[in-house]
Amino acid sequence: MPILENSLRNLTKLFAKAYWSAKVFKQKKSKYIAVSGKVVGHEELSNMIDASLDMWLTTGRFNDAFEEKLAKYFGLRFALTTNSGSSANLLAISALTSPLLKERALQAGDEVITVAAGFPTTINPIIQNNLIPVFVDVELGSNNIDVDQVAEAISEKTKAIFVAHTLGNVYDLEKLQILAKKHNLWLIEDNCDAFGSRYLNQLTGTFGDIATLSFYPAHHITMGEGGALLTDNPLLKKIIMSFRDWGRDCWCPPGKDNTCNNRFGFQVGKLPEGYDHKYIYSHIGYNLKITDWQAACALAQLDKVDEFIEARKRNFQTLFNGLINCQEYLILAKAIDGADPSWFGFPITVKDNAPFTKVELTKFLEQNNIGTRQLFAGNILRQPAYLNKEFKLRIRNTKVKSNLELEDSDYELLPNSDKVMNSCFWIGTWPGLQEQDLDQMIETIKKFIDGYKYSRDGKN
Ligand SMILES: Cc1ncc(COP(=O)(O)O)c(C=O)c1O
């Protein structure tokens, strides 16, 4: 058997090398420059074949190894995988509602501070848990939470702050940590876009009580669909696991029994004495676990993450240097002092004085084979889903109201969120981009702007 296994492994390696070099060659020849993509090789495939040979199917040894390695990478005690970044966000908020947190547990009607110019599944778990999102504005350029608006938005009901590091750019964690401490708030970092970003030389995702990661192929490392939660707090780890694994009280991994050595020794709730601990539920939970194939893929990706991070930073800098003279009409992304972002993408905001719109520029880029993306939901409060179904919200320091009662004056309190929706988009920084791709991205944007400058100066 070991001989057969070894030959299979060697064949996999040969196949993957041939297959991927053909694929990369084809990609290089393709004219379209995608905003994101995965960079995978024979190591991922070999691990996934190994996982197949195990035929374990569910979460297993690769997941154990990945969770351990991921936690170590961040210098935290716990990393827990889940089947998407969105699930990680759902688990993070759900965990904070656990009665095990006693007086710090979030109750229906409590408030969570966030931004409207974000990804939907950062905000959705707040609404889904009957909590009240409190929206503050973002800053132009960084597209990150305006930290100065947080203090004025905090009320007696505010219990948590939950925001993403937009496109990997880092918000002022020091100020948020001080506010969180002062007002006894939970701080959750949506770190889905920011694997490897640093603030004051410390990795983002290690500042808050909980942080989340996404491993969707557009992200820094991938397992196809997947995500993870990071925490240093053993109680939060226990609660997150419970919510992730059906809500059960038992912490046995799949296929194991009696890890607590007291499987039939419990008498809780209104259950009969000795009811099997494996079937005792302490939370109204989900099943959001991953399979071992996903973990096998991500384990190999984790060995490459430092290279990926460096490539993203390099690509960002090349784009920034190349577009530096376009700032008459474009706002380019800026990192705050002390931040070293691991860029998910390169955001560009069209200035108000520009003789063209974002739509015109992005159309031109797409027509010229440059992939573009919106900054996620734009101003999420203008999206149909958030206009149709009723929920309660607050904007900055205003009173709680229903989303169905939003008026123009409410939207005017978040002018930059509208600006992001109307004028911001992003292009790629992913490690699969070649130097000539970056040159083409820069030249195409310059060509578009020069066309307008030429007609303007021609008129003068
Ligand atoms: C900031 C942010 N949070 C959460 C998510 C959700 O991650 P997933 O697609 O893995 O569900 C994304 C996805 O891109 C994201 O950008």
Q: How many angstroms separate the alpha carbon of residue 192 from the centre of ligand 1?
A: 6
Position 458, amino acid: G
Tell me what the mean pLDDT of segment 348-375 comes to.
98
Substitution candidate for ligand 1 out of 38, 93, 119, 290 with most atoms within 8 A of CB = 119
What the block records as the tokens of 416 is: 């930059």
**H or E element at residue 159:** strand 158-164
Q: Max alpha carbon distance in the chain (Å)?
A: 89
- What is the third-level CATH fold of 50-302? Aspartate Aminotransferase; domain 2 (3.40.640)
* Positions marked catalytic: 219
CA geometry: angle at 310 spanning 305 and 315, to 5°? 125
CA of 328 to the centre of ligand 1 (A): 32
**Taking 50 as the threshold, does the pLDDT of residue 192 lie above it?**
yes
Under the phi-then-psi rule, with left for phi > 0, alpha for psi from -120 to 50, and beta for the rest, what region is 141?
A: left
CA nearest neighbour of 341 among 170, 200, 142: 170
| Residue 379 in this model has a pLDDT that exceeds 80 | yes
Q: Are the CB atoms for 191 and 230 separated by under 8 Å?
A: yes
Q: Give the CATH number of domain 305-378+406-459; options: 3.90.1150.10, 3.40.50.720, 1.10.1040.10, 3.40.50.880.
A: 3.90.1150.10
Q: What is the pLDDT of residues 138-147, one digit of tens each?
A: 999 999 999 9
Give the tens place of pLDDT for each residue, 238-290: 999 999 999 999 998 888 899 999 999 999 999 999 999 999 999 999 999 99
Ligand 1: nearest atom to the Cα of 219: 14
Tokens coding 53? 């040979």
Degrees to nearest 5, angle at CA 361 with 330 and 453: 65
Ligand 1 nearest-atom number relative to CA 84: 10
- Average pLDDT estimate for 192-208: 98
Among 46, 90, 47, CA closest to 66: 47
390-405, pLDDT tens digit by residue?
Answer: 999 999 999 999 999 9
Beta bridge partners of 426: 347, 373
Q: 421 CB contacts (<8 Å, ≥6 apart)?
A: 117, 375, 378, 379, 382
Ligand 1 binding site (Cβ under 6 Å of any ligand atom): 84-86, 89, 119, 121-122, 164, 190, 192-193, 214, 216, 227
CA torsion sign for 173, 174, 179, 184 is: positive
* Pair 73, 222: CB distance under 8 Å: no
pLDDT at 12: 82
Q: Where are the domains of the chain?
A: 50-302, 305-378+406-459
Evaluated on CA atoms 449, 450, 453, 459, the torsion sign reads: negative
Q: Mutate which of 126, 216, 221 to test ligand 1's pocket (most atoms within 8 Å of Cβ)?
A: 216
Q: What number is the average pLDDT over the span 52-69?
A: 96
Which helix (H) or strand (E) segment holds residue 299: the answer is helix 292-302
Q: Which of 214, 344, 373 to mutate for ligand 1's pocket (most ligand atoms within 8 Å of CB)?
A: 214
What 3-state class would DSSP assign to 334?
Answer: coil
Q: Please report where in the chains the tokens 């200035």 appear, as a residue.
A: 351
Which residue puts its alpha carbon closest to atom 7 of ligand 1? 85
Distance 193 CA to ligand 1 centre (A): 7
84 CA distance to ligand 1 centroid (A)? Answer: 8
Pick the atom of ligand 1 nearest to 225's CA: 10
Question: pLDDT value at position 456?
Answer: 65
Report angle CA 13, 18, 23 to the nearest 5 degrees. Answer: 120
pLDDT of residue 179: 98
Please give the distance, rounded to the nearest whole angstrom, from the Cα atom of residue 173 to the centre of ligand 1.
20
> How far is 413 from 409, CA to CA, in rounded Å?
7
pLDDT tens-digit series, residues 71-98: 999 999 999 999 999 999 999 999 999 9
Buried b (16+ CB within 10 A) or exposed e, 320-343: eebbeebeebbbbbbbbeebbbbb
Whole-number pLDDT of residue 51: 95
